Structure 1
Amino acid sequence: MGTIKVENIRVYAYHGCLEEEAKIGSDYRVDVEVKADLKASSISDKLADTVDYVHLNLIVKQEMAIRSELLEHVAKRILDRVLNEIAIVKKVKVSVSKINPPIGGDVEQVTIVLTKRRK
């Protein structure tokens, strides 16, 4: 078993419960970590035998482009797509962070983290 991480995917999106968030948008950071059997790819040196991190990045960007009120909803969609589209993945962890959230304080970011295993 091995781990592949795609960290600090930066995206501008329009998530949130406030009307202004839908209009103005905000900066986000997404981190994806997948667990998979990487033995074959470590021997074969073939992209087809591993998790293509370009594919992971594409899933994140596409799902972040779909507006949601809650970050949890976006993260779940990312989890589901990774497991549905990349058969080698056994477990996926997604962190979605809103940079400078509008919560009336000096807060760098808020982050939600969801994890899902293949059944």
Structure 2
Amino acid sequence: MGKIQLKGLRFKAYHGYYDEERQKGNQFEVNISVKTIFKQASEHDDLEGTVDYEHLYRIIKEEMEISSKLLEHVVKRISDRVMSEIAAVKKVKVSLSKFNPPFGGDCREAVVTIKASRD
């Protein structure tokens, strides 16, 4: 089993509980890690035997473009799509960071993480 990660994917998106957050937008960062068996790819230099980074990125980008009140909802959608669209993925972990969340205190980022696996 191997691990493939995309780190530091930055987006301006419109997620937040308050209407103002969904109107003005904020900066977000997504990190994703998937576990897969990529023996064929490593031995034969064949994309068919691994997870395509572009497919992962496209899923994340499309889901980040859908405005949501809760980060928990966004990471669940990303996780669900990865598991349903990419059969080679055995486990997925998605973290979504929202920078400078507006709750009246000093906070660099709020982070929500989800994990899923095939049983």
TM-score by length of 2: 0.97
Provide the C-alpha distance between the structure 2 equivalents of 1:45 and 1:103, rounded to a whole number of angstroms: 49
* Partner residue, 1:71: 71
Q: Deviations over 1:40-70 (max 9, x none)?
A: 1111101111101111111101001011110
Q: Which amino acid aligns with 2:6?
A: V
* Partner residue, 2:4: 4
Q: Which 10-residue stretch deviates more, 108-117 or 45-54?
A: 45-54
Provide the C-alpha distance between the structure 1 equivalents of 2:65 and 2:52, rounded to a whole number of angstroms: 21
Provide the C-alpha distance between the structure 1 equivalents of 2:28 and 2:92, rounded to a whole number of angstroms: 19
Deviating runs (4+, > 6 A) in structure 1? none
Q: Deviations over 1:55-105 (max 9, x none)?
A: 111110100101111001000000011011111000000000001111111
* Partner residue, 1:30: 30
Provide the C-alpha distance between the structure 2 equivalents of 1:95 and 1:16, rounded to a whole number of angstroms: 16
Name the Cα RMSD after superposition.
0.7
* Partner residue, 1:91: 91
Query: 1:91 is paired with a residue of what secondary structure?
Result: strand
Provide the C-alpha distance between the structure 2 equivalents of 1:19 and 1:77, rounded to a whole number of angstroms: 21
Query: 2:9 is paired with a residue of what secondary structure?
Result: strand
Provide the C-alpha distance between the structure 1 equivalents of 2:71 and 2:110, rounded to a whole number of angstroms: 10
**Which residues of structure 2 form unaligned runs of 5+?**
none
Aligned residues: 119
TM-score by length of 1: 0.97
